[in-house]
Chains A and B, each alone.
Chain A
């Protein structure tokens, strides 16, 4: 209640509680990875555009385990299909290739209508009275003798040989033949696609829909675990649900472990309640910043809570240890500690704030949150926590002092082997970094891929069962279809030897269509129908050809929607918006290739890869450039703040020596444990800078204050540094328990880094300080007398 005696304190606490509650309730959780990436990268823009225009928020796929037999899949889908179609909000349930097959005559008509005029004339020749009559009369001969089941179906579908004529014409539309073969080869589907009436944009909508689909699967096929959901809504539902449970779990585990550790050291939990309360307020401050500044919290910022808990807990523990010690009434010691905390918070926050200039929006958000949280935490520990602890001073157990003194004696006794060993290990790590710098870092996006996710596993199944599995996908944009086609062709030449998938050949050619409309002979469909009847072939034989002819007839007459259902399919591969046309270009067997290094973008044309492979390369380059660009500024910020805090060139150098040795030790630990850093765990570098500077500032200040006395310095700081190190390990290590592989890697790297930081600052730094000090140092028995 002491806190509430000051109106200012009441105001601040109330504002944070109310503001935090508002922010937590209204903040949007970002599940997408792409918004975390630099938007200026071509691959990021390509993937974003692809998702915005073509990847649907309306589609959920129910995918079968590839291990299921044809019969099992057929039975499962037959049972599910009608029930899935009954789900409220579902518009259609389709199997792959089904729409393609249903609309194949109109798609063929589209391909014919967009041909260059001379090829169109050839196709028209096939539909001429004479040619049609002659061709139909030979059908019995074609059907006699050696039979190929596929040829039989093909003949029934295209008795006049329109597709054949397209191939012979050498036009791109001849690829429809391949499309036809693909269509015929699709026997039992591997997945069903459910299309919703409305796009599923909100978490709640995604969760509701995927739950409804799972309920249908569970009802219709009890115990069937080999059917999984994927698609954008499935990922959104899974990730958002996972994020919430991960955050709650991570924070609970961290809080419980920190409490246990605090009790183990100080044999009390009462002050811990206050410490956690102030931590929660700092956390709320961060959430308010996230809500006001960004409006959302992304997947990387999920780690924000544990980072804050890990780093800012240090300040509270230092303050607590001070008030539990015999020096609690020494104003000088308190002033030094407060100064150390503020400089430490400012230095760490500055290191993070430099990241707001990073090219990665994900890091910019995180850095702002952590910086805000650190400053708030420093404020609370030196202001409100002090008020609480002054009112009821805690007592530190005597055994902590005894342990600290024994540790100091041990370090003093073994100082030479310790410092020699540390320097040798540093040289070894430096050598390794020099020889194999790449072995400490894995650039790929694999670590971002949630391998345990059901939606991800289903997506892998989907890719394996899809005919376009090996296709490289690009988005080509220009102000005309002609330019898009030219760029697509050029791209295909460079990447896949000119090979393009069927869909790419269906890109619109409005000028050709207009010319071909004039060449069309009206009444062709009616005449062809008569030819079929004369040849004794009924609708089973005539229907596809007549549908093709009718679509061409309608198009020639300028009828809207002339190509029927094919038009909706075509919109999934090309679109036009404000005079800019965008098309998906699929290149066979090019999925592992990144975009050619040479510029593909001509004047008015833009080619964007829709590829995680390209993005991985681009991200690595971007991260390297960022490190070069921001690393200098970060070091400058650290140097300036350390100079202000230490006001001694030698001490600043010692700060930096501790920094280098801690980073080299981390490299050795990474090698020893077989851990590599990912694009996300690179974030641990500024965090470790902050931690090492934090510890080294306090240690050096204490050493200066005690004339280099190890015993006194350890008496003041060994316990809080070890305790804060452990708290940081718990805070940063908590993400190891989450379902996100990238966060788990980050947690491991951070824990190894904290271990390096604590050992370096507590053992190596004091020895370096003493070794570089010119004035006399009190040691051994003298120290005992002083203490």
Chain B
């Protein structure tokens, strides 16, 4: 779902109060350049899932670690013991109390959010999203809000709206994904660290039990 984040950097038009196209283009270029120079990136995050028909949202927490070009690890502290590891096209998912499963990053639905997140961190554009979404970029007190709203003709199962919050130093602060049938998924990042060494062991392939 986060795959559409990058499209925010291809603004198609700006509404009143939004950034001008020239400014939005400049923002995109700066962001891409910055991400291409990113060797490693890690941050703490809070994942909040709200679903229609559920009284209380489900909150998870953890840390996320990226190593260029294509490795990503997400460790959950809440629920403890869960992790997601992507290396190349191989995707390993460990849910609490379940067997470790291996999936394909590109072919399985479970890989889609991870693929999008990787795309964001790598500074790669996502081509399909341009056709499916309208983009607005605005500046709110030094924080950029990029809102992608699904076009009427777009596929029925795509998120309705994706809002990305990028701080003025171009670090990613938050991604809000609004689901097709109400409900939302929000990732808030904190204490992001860029281009500092990460332990190689974090990306060693696990051996399924």
Contacts and interface: CB of A to CB of B under 8 A. Distances in A.
B54 A146 contact: no
A143 B95 CA distance: 10
A210 B76 CA distance: 58
Interface stretch (A5-13, A149-157, A658-666): A149-157
A75 B132 CA distance: 12
A576 interface: no
Interface string A517-549: 000000000000000000011111100000000
Contacts of B195: none
B156 interface: yes
Interface residues of B, number: 38
Given A151-B110, A536-B54, A538-B53, A146 B157 contact: no
Nearest to A143: B58
Interface string B10-42: 000000000000000000000000000000000
Given A74-B155, A74-B156, A146 B109 contact: no
Contacts of B181: 540
A72 to B, nearest CB: 8
Interface stretch (B77-85, B134-142, B161-169, B199-207): B77-85
A89 B83 CA distance: 56
Given A71-B153, A144-B76, A145-B82, 8 more contacts: A70-B155, A75-B153, A145-B60, A147-B113, A148-B109, A149-B112, A150-B110, A540-B53
- Which residue of B55, B79, B132 has the most chain A CB atoms within 10 A of its CB atom? B79
A167 interface: no
A375 B54 CA distance: 85
A187 interface: yes
A739 B82 CA distance: 63
Contact of B56 (A156, A536, A540): A536
A148 B110 contact: yes
Interface in B101-117: 108-110, 112-113
B90 interface: no
A149 B113 contact: yes
B131 interface: yes
B154 interface: yes
Contact of A144 (B52, B54, B60): B60
B156 A537 contact: no
A188 B155 contact: yes
Contacts of B112: 149
B147 interface: no
Interface of B: 1, 47, 49, 51-56, 58-60, 74, 76, 78-79, 82-84, 93-96, 108-110, 112-113, 131-132, 151, 153-157, 181, 185
A392 interface: no
A51 interface: no
A152 B56 CA distance: 16
Contacts of A78: 153
Given A71-B131, A140-B58, A147 B49 contact: yes
Contact of A536 (B55, B78, B131): B55
B154 A147 contact: no
Q: Which of A146, A147, A538 has the most B CB atoms < 10 Å from its CB?
A: A146
Nearest to B83: A146
20 contacts: A69-B131, A70-B154, A70-B155, A71-B151, A71-B154, A71-B155, A72-B153, A140-B56, A144-B58, A144-B59, A145-B82, A147-B49, A148-B109, A149-B1, A187-B155, A188-B155, A537-B54, A540-B51, A540-B53, A540-B181
A188 B157 CA distance: 9
Contacts of A145: 60, 76, 79, 82, 95-96
Contacts of B54: 139, 536-537, 541
A146 B82 contact: yes
A183 to B, nearest CB: 12
B84 A156 contact: no
Contact of B74 (A146, A537, A540): A146
Given A144-B58, A537-B53, A149 B109 contact: yes
Interface in A152-168: 152, 156
Nearest to A541: B53
A592 to B, nearest CB: 25
Contacts of A144: 47, 49, 58-60, 76, 78-79, 82
B176 to A, nearest CB: 15
A152 B94 CA distance: 16
Nearest to A145: B82
A146 B76 contact: yes
A146 B91 CA distance: 12
Contacts of A140: 56, 58
Choose among B74, B95, B108, B131 the residue with the greatest number of A CB atoms under 10 Å from its CB.
B95
Given A141-B96, A541-B54, A187 B156 contact: yes
A143 B48 CA distance: 10
